[in-house]
Chains A and B, each alone.
Chain A
Amino acid sequence: MKRQGLEHIRWFQKQWQSIIVAEVLLYALSLSFLSYVLSLSIVVTILIFCGVCIGLFLLKKPWQFSLQKTAQYIDGQLDHIENSTELFLKPEIELTNIARLQKIKVSRLLQTELAQLLPQRKMWNSILVLLVCLLVGGVLLQFQVFQKSDSTSDFPSDNEVIVFQALDSVSSKENPPQIHNQILHITYPAYTNLEPRTSLDMNLKALEGSQVAWKLKFDQDIDHVMWVDENSEKAMRLAKESYLFQTKLKNSHFYNFKFKALNGLSYLSDLYAIEVIKDELPAVEIINIKQFTTFEIGDSKVLNFNVVMSDDFGIADAFIVATVTKGEGESVKFREERLAIDQGFEKGSRKLNLSKSLDLDALKMEAGDELYFYVESVDVKTPKANRARSETFFAVIRDTATNNFSVEGTMAADLMPDYFRSQRQLIIDTEKLIADKNRLSKEDFNATSNALGYDQKALRLKYGEFMGDEADSGIQVTQDIDLETPADDHDLLEEYTHDHDGSNEHNLVENHEHDHDHDDDTGTENKVDPLESYLHNHDDPEESTLFTESLRGKLKQAMAEMWDAELHLRLYAPEKSLPYQYRALKLIQEIKNSARIYVHRIGFDPPPIKEDKRLTGDFTEVTTIQNSDEVKEPDDFEYMRKSVARISEIIHRQASISQDDRDSFAAAGNELAVLAIESPVKYLHVLQELKLLSEKHQTSMETLKYVQFELLNALPKTPENPIKRETYQNKLSDLILKEITSND
């Protein structure tokens, strides 16, 4: 009896444990199924299954259900057992007689009621949950709610599958071959490090140089398949019941497939676009440095800057190209160096920010030398890498030994005189004189003022020379001005004369073919040979000058200002002279600026005139020329126009499409493809129809009309062109014309 009772309790314990295990497993199964629906990943599903199992087991702890606990549970649940279950667990010997009686009584009860105590309802709950999860998950799977777009399934969706149209209308009755599966495999160039990609969509967009392979499988045996683009038709290779073709992408275009079934009928697919993306040029920028950097000779001559580079697939190489110039003018020497950027440079990085320093001393640069540098970067593209360069930056080591005035760095020859500086010098001197007025004696003051007046005159005369002025509107310099100056001031005068003004004279007049000194000899020259001034064309101030018209006006104005300045200096009133000097200075500055433009103009070197041939009236070498040329601009859309006209004929005459027509439609398709690459949405459909027209033997009038008007819409407007009009003349119109013109 005892055994029986104990066995019952054990059985109950086992049952209970197994129910809990089953419950846990069912819940885990439900949750993991749902997770599979969401993620479509086996790994995730298994992980979730295991996680849920462990979690629930830890929560439920089925291993903790000992006999003791089971007995307590049974006592708690069944009242009429009267807490006697534990009696079964105790050895028979320890039991009293009453206990034994009780045990026998309970044993009977246990036998009948234990089975009802099992928590079966919990299991039914979990089964229900599982069923619900299966149902929900099944529905979601069925409608592909969480289906990823790039599913690797070989079965293309309806709008992706290649649709073939029969080129012969008879074949529609038969069961035409269909695509069973289609794959497009894109292998990017090795340097991109991109994973190969497969696609079911036959329209593709890929990097230039990518290898593209097509694989088509049909549900029936067929004769052959062609891969067709605008220029050629290429047969696809048969391998393991699939047709293969591969090519390297060069430029954007359209393609389609064409196959011939075993019964000899041809089929043509829709058009698909290949869009080729070009590898971008690397971007290079130098930052944290000024465009021009100047160093003093004593400074530490190190340039610090950052180079920022980026490229879509990585940078292969980058270096600094530095050009050092030594010397100036015609003796300038260039030295180019390529400096590698080693520090921190990682080949193949997509984005780089490097700091770099250039030591000018290391480049063996001396005072007065200039450095031009830029960074060039090369990307990883093969076979021909893209190159890009940054802006050019400049660094100069200032040369304090020379301070040559230069108007424009790029001038081949410095034609501007040094006198331009002198006006500023004069102003400084005049201001100094005014400031020193109180400290100087009246004589000294006057003498200095007069000396400045002389300098002003000298400056004016030099400008006059530039103008080609010999006697410029009465501002002619004669010796008698010297008579005005006091004799004892002669030394002083020399002292204040700006010597360099005179010493540079040879520079000034080197292009000016005057062989006489205007300062001294103008008066006598006129006396010696009065005709000479007429013969020398450049004596005329309007003709002989180095300057252009607008410049001359300004120069004249400046000279007038100088004339006034000199006047006031000579009258010992430097204060009154100053405004004129300032105005003169301003005008000279303007002249300097305009000289920059002028400089470029002196580059023109007219061919020499052969004086011996001039005006001889000899035409022997002059002959009549006859040129003939065909210059009609080619029409880029010739076949499109032809096709439009031809379709109009076909519709009008109900004619059939000949082979010539098909060829011309194919050519029109190629012309349209150029437009279609620019805007595929607009023209792809008509291009497709045109392609079909060029292959098919029969077509409907509606299609023809559609193609005709779409082609017309795609055609650009022809330029306005004069026409030859038509007229009909009869006796009446002749009479009218005669009557009208009879009055003439």
Chain B
Amino acid sequence: MIENLFFQNAHLCWPVIFIGVVLWFLFVWKEWRKPLSKLFVTSCLISLLTIIAIAMLALKPKVGSLSNSVGVVLTDFYQEEQLDSLMKVEKDLKLYQYQENLSIQSKLDSLRTIYVLGDGIAPYDFWQFENRSVSYLSNEIPKGVTNINYKQINYVGEFMIVRGNYNVPQEKNSIVLEDASGKAQDSVVFEKNGSSNFVLKLPLKSKGKFVYQLVEKDSVGTILSKNNIPIHVVEKQNLQILILNDFPSFETKYLKNYLSSLGHKLVVRSQITKGRYKFEYLNTERTPIYTLNRANMQNFDLLIISSNAYRYLSKQTKKDIKNAVYLDGLGVFLQPDASLFRLSEESTNLKFQPTLNSEIVLNGFSNQTWDTYRYSFVDGPRIEKIHFNSNQIASAYKRWGNGRIGTTLIQNTFQLQLAGKQELYRDFWSEIISKISKEKTIAAKFNFSSMFPLKDEPLRFELNSSYEHPNVLQANGNLIPLKQDIDIPSKWEGVIYPLSEGWHELRLKNDSISTATMYVTDSISWTALRRHEKRLANIRLFNNKTIVADEKVQYKSINPFWFFAIALLGMGFLWLRPKLMQS
């Protein structure tokens, strides 16, 4: 019992005891000086009691008792049936309505077990439920778009691909991607017993920030829900490419024309004869390159070199290329020819095996048969495929430090252009070149916790930055406090509370390039998705770890009236006794 007692004003404990003891001794000494009466001992005891009662008034003692009650926190969209079942099992059930942002903590203190019903607790209120024994009885997955995936930052000329999942679609209902003026760009109609997944595509034609709408319609075209799809389209950065050939080839000619027409900067060197070259500088200034070294390769993002030319490079040049790839992140694309398969494995890190096929159909290009060398890549853990089918890898690359080296086994792709299949040709090469080229290293990268943040709700973000002390500013110039990761010093965390809907921007102080944009949506958008996400977060938090809370002790303060009464009676007795004794 005594362990269940504690004082609310425990910090006053020693002074109170000291004063109490002094007082009592004074009283005893005063009584002692008088002729000892019969009631001396009684008086001393009563005075002690009175002093203790007054001390208790100051110290405010509390007494703990074990709590056994069970509570239910009802959140949005809870199911009555679940509550009824719970009530049947637990007799003395206490019900609490959960409201976001309001404290419920004190009410939970008296509960041994807590059940959460409905969509769950908002993640920013989880702290109130920490270290409590909570069971989350989840709802069913809400109807609507419960999963969405697309890149919010895209490049001009690419397709924005929106993949998503619609939970329990109605037959003939459709999902339409619309622009702000309500024009449909792409749509999917759900079939009976069909997949609930959908993919929508949108060609991106200009840079800018746009808000598209993902509209859910029923079979007669009535709009059931509208969700914002914000995208930020940025301009592409041109590549600097060096092409080295030991003789001019058609493949190079067409590749060169294709890349230069899109504005990429090219230096093409074809050997005419020993020591004589033909240099072509497309969209770039004249800087002849006779010998390759790490310094002059630093300007380039990609080196396209014919396998035969690569084969006869000097040892030093090969070492320089390797360094440029390893350390500077250069991409190397080996143009295939017969000598590719005679290159030693250590010089390229790529392994090939002979096959019987001279033609191949690639995944993603199902209508086209491609001419290939009678070889295939040997698949390995570090081979990263670009073009392939189930049996064979036709184009692939491997990482070499920061850079990449890769090749393709498809030949005569220029014939596609002659056959009028420009689109196919472009798709093929742009994929290879994008994947192998050097990547631009950025100084800071932001990651937001939510794709669709809401106004006035906390939005967590993670910042990876190479700066020692990054300062993140909002558009209005407010500085946002950051928390550094304990293990990775370049990782920081912060929280913002967007004040309005629309586009928002975060930027780094002293670095105008490193910015992050996000779109704060209205609260009607993505309700199903948000509900589902909240549900999942609750399941993750409450149902994966079972916190068996210690037996809950509930502390109650003792009503000070009793102490007051004791003190009053005690003092009354001590005051009245001499008077009564005299008379």
Interface set of A (CB-CB < 8 Å, partner B): 619, 622-633, 640-641, 644-645, 647-649, 651-652, 705-706, 708-713, 715-732, 737-738, 740-741, 744
Contacts and interface: CB of A to CB of B under 8 A. Distances in A.
B280 A737 contact: no
B464 to A, nearest CB: 5
Given A720-B157, A722-B262, 5 more contacts: A629-B260, A629-B283, A717-B203, A722-B239, A724-B438
Counting from the closest, the 8 A-B pairs by CB-CB distance are A648-B208, A628-B281, A722-B433, A728-B445, A720-B426, A718-B157, A727-B439, A644-B206
B379 interface: no
19 contacts: A625-B278, A626-B278, A626-B286, A628-B281, A629-B281, A631-B283, A632-B262, A644-B207, A719-B262, A720-B426, A721-B262, A722-B239, A726-B440, A727-B440, A730-B464, A737-B399, A740-B399, A741-B399, A741-B400
Contacts of B180: 705-706, 708-709
A721 B281 contact: no
Quick one: which of A625, A705, A722 has the most chain B CB within 10 A? A722
Contacts of B264: 722
Contacts of B503: 652
Given A622-B273, A622-B276, A722-B430, A631 B442 contact: no
Interface in B264-309: 264, 272-286, 288, 301
B401 A741 contact: yes
Contacts of A709: 179-181, 183, 210
Contacts of B156: 641, 718
A709 B181 CA distance: 7
Contacts of A648: 207-210
Query: Could you say which interface size class chain B belongs to?
Result: 35 or more
Interface string B235-251: 01111000000000000
A722 B302 CA distance: 11
B225 to A, nearest CB: 21
A713 B276 contact: no
Contacts of B263: 632-633
B490 interface: yes
B358 interface: no
A628 B280 contact: yes
Nearest to B182: A709
A721 B282 contact: no
Contacts of A729: 402, 441, 466
Main secondary structure of the interface of A (DSSP, over half): mixed
A730 B465 CA distance: 8
Contact of A710 (B181, B326, B488): B181
A741 B326 CA distance: 10
A421 B266 CA distance: 62
Nearest to A728: B445
B262 A724 contact: no
Nearest to B179: A709
A717 B201 CA distance: 13
Given A724-B437, A724-B439, A731-B488, A626 B279 contact: yes
Nearest to B203: A717
A633 B431 CA distance: 21
Contact of A722 (B273, B382, B434, B444): B434
A717 B502 contact: no
B236 A624 contact: no
B230 to A, nearest CB: 11
B434 A713 contact: no
Contacts of B490: 730-731
A502 B400 CA distance: 77
Given A622-B273, A626-B279, A717 B205 contact: yes
B506 interface: no
Contacts of A728: 441-442, 444-445, 464
B463 to A, nearest CB: 10
B515 to A, nearest CB: 13
A744 B273 contact: no
Quick one: which of A628, A630, A737 has the most chain B CB within 10 A? A628
Nearest to A627: B280
B457 interface: no
B171 interface: no
Contacts of B437: 722, 724-725
B389 interface: no
Contacts of A629: 260, 280-283
Given A629-B280, A644-B206, A726 B442 contact: yes
B402 A644 contact: no
Given A709-B181, A719-B426, A730-B464, A641 B399 contact: no
A731 B464 CA distance: 11
A172 B157 CA distance: 43
A744 B264 CA distance: 33
Contacts of B206: 640-641, 644-645, 711-712, 715
Contacts of B440: 724-727
Contact of B273 (A619, A645, A652, A723): A619
B349 interface: yes
Contacts of A706: 180-181
A718 B205 contact: yes
A716 B204 CA distance: 10
A625 B282 contact: no
A631 to B, nearest CB: 4
Contacts of A724: 236-239, 301, 434, 437-440
Nearest to A625: B278
B173 to A, nearest CB: 25
Contacts of A717: 203, 205
Given A723-B158, A724-B439, A627 B281 contact: yes
B282 A641 contact: no
Nearest to B466: A730
B320 to A, nearest CB: 17
A630 B266 CA distance: 10
A726 B516 CA distance: 14
Nearest to B181: A709
Nearest to A641: B206
B181 A705 contact: yes
A632 B283 contact: yes
Contacts of A708: 180, 208, 210
Contacts of B430: 720-723
A253 to B, nearest CB: 25
A77 B75 CA distance: 106
Nearest to A738: B401
B232 to A, nearest CB: 9
Contacts of B281: 626-629
Interface string B443-487: 011000000000000000000101000000000000000000000
A647 B440 CA distance: 28
A625 B279 contact: yes
B150 interface: no
Given A710-B181, A720-B426, A725 B444 contact: no
